[in-house]
Amino acid sequence: MIDRALVLGGGSAGFLAAITLAKKVPGLTVRVVRSPTIGVIGVGEGTTAAFPRHLFNYQGLDAGDFYRSVQPTWKLGIRCIWGSGPDFFYPFAEEFSRPIDGLTKKPGFYDAPEGSDWLGPTSALMSKGKVFARQPDGKPDLKTPHAFHIENELLVGYLEKVARSLGVEITDGTVTSVETGPTRASGREEAGVSALVLDTGERLTADLFVDASGFRSALLGEALGVGRVSYTDSLFCDRAVIGRWERTDEPTPAYTTAETMDHGWAWRIEHERWVNRGYVFSSSFVSDDEAEAELRRKNPKLTGDTRVVGFRSYRLETMWSGNVVGIGNASGFVEPLEATALQAICVQCSTLADVLADSSREPTVSLVAHYNRYNTTQWDDIRDFLSIHFRYNDKLDTPFWKACRSDVAIHGAQPVVDFYRENGPSTLLAGLILAPTNSFGFQGYYSMLAGQRVPCDRTYDAPAGEQQAWSQWIGKVGDWAAAGMDTAEVIGFFRGVGWWPGG
Ligand SMILES: Cc1cc2nc3c(=O)[nH]c(=O)nc-3n(C[C@H](O)[C@H](O)[C@H](O)COP(=O)(O)OP(=O)(O)OC[C@H]3O[C@@H](n4cnc5c(N)ncnc54)[C@H](O)[C@@H]3O)c2cc1C
């Protein structure tokens, strides 16, 4: 039976794992070991709607405490400066599949009325510079599906505080050697980790080790030699140059911006006090200095220091081997174009906790196999979805983008692209083409395919009556969104009530 879990790593992956295990697995004691000399990666600011679901719905953490500690801003989706057409939105809401009175087809088939760039309420809020609808009593309506922009340092500090409050023991020390040996923690005898030796001389044992050591993958990758599946045939970028400036009079929209750059793309993330920008690029096409110069040229307000972070796009061949489970960058990484790292961490943490709780801390061979299948598929799904961002973006004709359009492998995205090309944005039989576990679904795929103007055979010339009904609906949604609250108003409201309505 697994009685003691040891989490190696005190970044967002390590603390999210520790909290989830401490909260959801009765009888398990949890310890975190983190190095005072090897820092956390310190980036990771965008999230998806899976993140608040994990914290508040699955774990039941106190939302008020989170808001007060992390001071997030809200994110309803992504604004894409992408493809040769106009900018478009990818909202965290089902807008392609929503039936609308008076229309015989789903929204994606109708032309956007003049001056509108939304298909539904969430994209309308983003387009109008709003975050939430205003309720009759003046409060923001938080029901709109949303995620957060958060600063990594504040998030890690908050997670550490929650971990301590749940009785998680935190040890500062650097692992200098890893002892390996046979284990039965995966339901059968396999090679695993028997102890970690710290620079303090302490020797730590556990029944289960969670490897959240970041890119080095100290336990699964280095000690157990689990192989890596490279994603570089789909994702060519391997570095990012990051900078920020202090917000002055800029509005704070409720979306992340993803902007096409000469040799990659750049995020723009809106914090209350800071505007953060990061240029993700491929070192095969541009040097660090040239990338930094392009970022500064396109962002004249960026006058302070920048820093460069290198990465590789990959996942481990297996996420649970012997008595070691990898979570976060230690198990896989893709560039943050859809801000999926914290989402992947949340899924890994919840499936691990569920497996341990469901098996009364005695996981079986089949449960471990399912864990591995689910989590490796999760990473591959993300790789597939990102691949279509590169393969079909025809905004620029630089060598990087030409190479993307001719060489990016789209793997599991191919059936969705084929279906879209033949049927247009039809959402029929969605569950047969994309597994229900695919976190992007047709909504995500069609936002990107239609937004990038990928041609399809099936278009719809709507009769005048239908086009009129559509224009009226879009107009109504636009008016509703325009009457909503912007980020500054919602922050003002939250401050007034002590950062949480009722808190
Ligand atoms: C450029 C870039 C942009 C990103 N943007 C986003 C984003 O917008 N959204 C998103 O969700 N994610 C994003 N990410 C990913 C995100 O930053 C990480 O996935 C997330 O923070 C988890 O990191 P981690 O905890 O796995 O690793 P880290 O933060 O690197 O933590 C590793 C931990 O392991 C410890 N450790 C390592 N070796 C040892 C040792 N030998 N002994 C003891 N302790 C050890 C360290 O001390 C540290 O505590 C981005 C990543 C990059 C590179």
Return the CA Rg of the chain: 23
Is the CB of residue 243 below 6 angstroms from any atom belonging to ligand 1?
A: no
Who's near 449: CB < 8 A, 6+ residues apart? 388, 392, 416, 417, 420, 425, 456
pLDDT computed for residue 284 by the predictor = 98
In whole angstroms, give the CA distance from residue 226 to residue 331. 10
User: Whose alpha carbon is nearest atom 14 of ligand 1?
Assistant: 44
CA of 407 to the centre of ligand 1 (A): 29
pLDDT computed for residue 185 by the predictor = 86
Q: Give the residue among 29, 36, 25 at the shortest CA–CA distance from 5.
A: 29
Is the CB of residue 425 below 6 angstroms from any atom belonging to ligand 1?
A: no
For the chain, which residues make up each domain, given as ranges? 4-45+151-230+313-363, 239-310
pLDDT computed for residue 501 by the predictor = 67
Counting every residue, how long is the chain? 503
User: Whose alpha carbon is nearest atom 16 of ligand 1?
Assistant: 44
Q: Give the residue among 333, 429, 318 at the shortest CA–CA distance from 374.
A: 318
In order of 13, 184, 352, 354, 371, the CA distances from 326 in angstroms are: 10, 17, 10, 16, 11
Is the CB of residue 452 below 6 angstroms from any atom belonging to ligand 1?
A: no
Is the CB of residue 256 below 6 angstroms from any atom belonging to ligand 1?
A: no
Q: Give the residue among 86, 65, 16 at the shortest CA–CA distance from 451.
A: 86
pLDDT computed for residue 332 by the predictor = 97
pLDDT computed for residue 503 by the predictor = 46
> Can you list the residues of the chain whose pLDDT is less than 50?
503
Q: What are phi and psi of 373, to 5 degrees?
A: -65, -45
pLDDT computed for residue 502 by the predictor = 53
CA of 440 to the centre of ligand 1 (A): 23
Topology annotation, domain 239-310: D-Amino Acid Oxidase; Chain A, domain 2 (3.30.9)
pLDDT tens per residue, range 241-264 = 999 999 999 999 999 999 999 999
pLDDT computed for residue 458 by the predictor = 85
pLDDT computed for residue 216 by the predictor = 93
pLDDT computed for residue 186 by the predictor = 85
4-45+151-230+313-363 shares its CATH topology with 239-310: no
Q: Which CATH architecture does the domain made up of 4-45+151-230+313-363 adopt?
A: 3-Layer(bba) Sandwich (3.50)
User: Whose alpha carbon is nearest atom 38 of ligand 1?
Assistant: 213
Q: What are phi and psi of 298, to 5 degrees?
A: -85, -5
